Structure 1
Amino acid sequence: MDNDDQPVGRILSRREVLRLFGLAGSAAVIAGCSTEVVPTATTVAQASAPTATATSAATNTIAEAATATAAATSTAEVTATSEAVAALPSCIVRPELTEGPYFVDEKLERSDIRSDPSNNAVSAGTQLDINVVVSQIGAGTCTALAGAIVDLWHCDADGVYSDATDRSFNTVGQKFLRGFQRTDASGLAKFTTIYPGWYQGRAVHIHFKIRTDAGYEFTSQFFFDESLTDVVHAQAPYVAKGVRTLLNDGDGIYQQSGGQTILTVTPSAQGYSATFEIGLQI
């Protein structure tokens, strides 16, 4: 069975994303402007009579001033962080995930990956159109990455991969549900495929890989909302396989993704469609 269970890479924290775009530290700079309003103990004491009451009042004044300053600093930090996050470019850094055992570099350039070129048989299933928008992260900006190679591969409605061997199948020589596209000037690569099926040990997913001619490579996986999968898999041909045995929350690779690679799928005239934006640090 599938053994693609080794995590690769990790999810960037918010602080790391801010640092990546050169925005880290802005909250601290803004918050630092408010520290000068804190009165010192000497200043308060000199302005008060040297009595127990005056001393107590001075102490309370210091405490109140410190509390007010802390609140102002916290507010400034939250505001600055929110502004910094809002200033992030539209592209999104995504986590890299394992390639798995079924990647084959077929060098099969095509947008519609549903058919098997050896016999033109089309994989049965609900049509799914996927648009992958690839950007390169720069100094606070995202630039469309043109000419990048985007590979897609996944199992069919029965949970079978093409051009692979497993305990339950041997499809060597077949090439259904595999292919690549180069991104256009806007960083877009378009694919037509089917909604994937499932197999034991994994949640429903699609593998993808992005490469450049200069040798850069990024690999990850798409996942799906479980309620949508319930609807699709209740129909033919998926329903014949029965109820899937593992959902997203039980899939270790999905856990590594932090839910950041779930496709936002919407109904279309042909079936479903989804657009996924990804920013890469190359």
Structure 2
Amino acid sequence: MTRLRLEGSILKRADFLKKVFFSGALASGIAIACKKESENKIGILGPLGPLEGIIGGTCNSADVTSAPACALIPEETKGPYPLDLSSNSSYFRQDITEGKTGIPLTLVLTIENVNNSCSPITNARVDVWHCDKDGYYSGYKETGYLGTKDYAADTFCRGIQLTDSAGMVTFTTIYPGWYSGRITHIHFQVYLNNGLVATSQIAFPEDITKTVYTTSLYSTHGQNTSVSGNCADSILGNSAADLSQELCTVIEDTSNGGYIASLYVGIAN
């Protein structure tokens, strides 16, 4: 399988899909590699108190290169904001915005079996969750830059899907914002036969994130002043090799004024 890595770049969607077609990649044509998190902990202050993570700053952005073509996604901490929605079938959904405003983001995840030449895995359950444009998570009462918000009864920016015959799921959401102590990211978990097999996070290209945060929807909160970049993140910046697997490839989606991001997730099945 041929994969395209476009480190931190933006291509017009039509140009990108044309490149993918001629390279023999999947028709979806959106490639991302992302990696994992460690289980070590340090006291990073977040909206609800200490965050789980590792001491960052060990990676050098100049050393972040293309991720391996077929690699196992390493385990990461699920962080302080998990919420199990699997008991309610209504959360098996593609659109997870629930009316939240933000720049549109289409997230494409492809689940693959590293023990079988990264062939696609069908019917894998994929859970995703992330904060809204202002840095708040649904399912929790938090204090952030807009003060205390009680979203304990909400489920925005969370969803579940089962992979199709190509091993893919597609979520319609918004570009995540940020909260103190963490860089922009999306959480996800993968289940096979109702058993959890992977927990990880997705990092975003810094130049695209900075562009998003200058737009009118995000400019009030502005740029992330708590973490200087992916390599300084307490979780995603533990090594250049890790970040190479965690870093999304993002392309511009001119059809809706947003972006398309994608991730290949290697699972030992």
How does the TM-score come out when normalised to structure 1? 0.65
Paired residues for 1:93-104 under 5 Å = 93-104=72-83
Identity of aligned residues (%): 35
Partner of 1:6: 53
Q: Write the deviation string for residues 224-260 of structure 1: whole angstroms up to 9, x where unpaired.
A: 1111111111002111113212121211201233332
* Structure 2 residues without counterparts, runs of 5 or longer: 1-45, 55-67
Alignment counterpart, residue 249 of structure 1, candidates 228, 231, 238: 231
Q: Which residue number in structure 2 is paired with residue 280 of structure 1?
A: 267
Higher relative contact order, chain-length normalized (CA < 8 Å, sep 6+): 2
> Are 2:152 and 1:175 aligned?
no
Name the structure with the higher helix share. 1
Q: Secondary structure at the match of 2:237?
A: helix
Aligned partner (choices 120, 135, 140) of residue 164 of structure 1: 140
Deviation string for 1:135-157 (max 9, x for gaps)? 11225x22211111111100011
Task: Provide the alpha-carbon RMSD of the alignment.
Answer: 1.7
The residue aligned with 2:213 is 233
Matched, 1:130 2:94: no
The offset of 1:267, in angstroms, is 0.3
Q: 1:1-31 CA distances to partner (integer Å, 9 max, x unpaired)? A: 2544335xxxxxxxxxxxxxxxxxxxxxxxx
The structure whose residues are more often strand, as a share, is 2
Alpha carbons 1:4, 1:98 under 8 Å: kept:
no
- Contact 2:189–2:196 (8 Å) recurs in 1: no
Q: CA deviation digits over 1:135-187, x for unaligned, max 9?
A: 11225x22211111111100011100001123333211101100011001110
Q: CA deviation at 1:216?
A: 3.4
Residue of structure 1 aligned with 2:176, choices 193, 196, 205: 196
Note the residue ranges of structure 1 that are not aligned, 5 or more in a row: 8-87, 116-121
Structure number, greater radius of gyration: 1
**Alignment: residue pair count:** 194
- Three-state SS of the structure 1 residue aligned to 2:137 is coil
Q: Match for 1:263 among 248, 253, 268?
A: 248
When residues 201 and 224 of structure 1 are mapped into structure 2, their CA distance, relative to the original with a 3 A threshold, is: same
Residue type of the alignment partner of 1:111? Q
- How far, CA to CA, are the matches of 1:260 and 1:127 in structure 2? 23
> Secondary structure at the residue paired with 1:159?
coil
- Given the two structures, how large is their TM-score scaled by the length of structure 2? 0.68
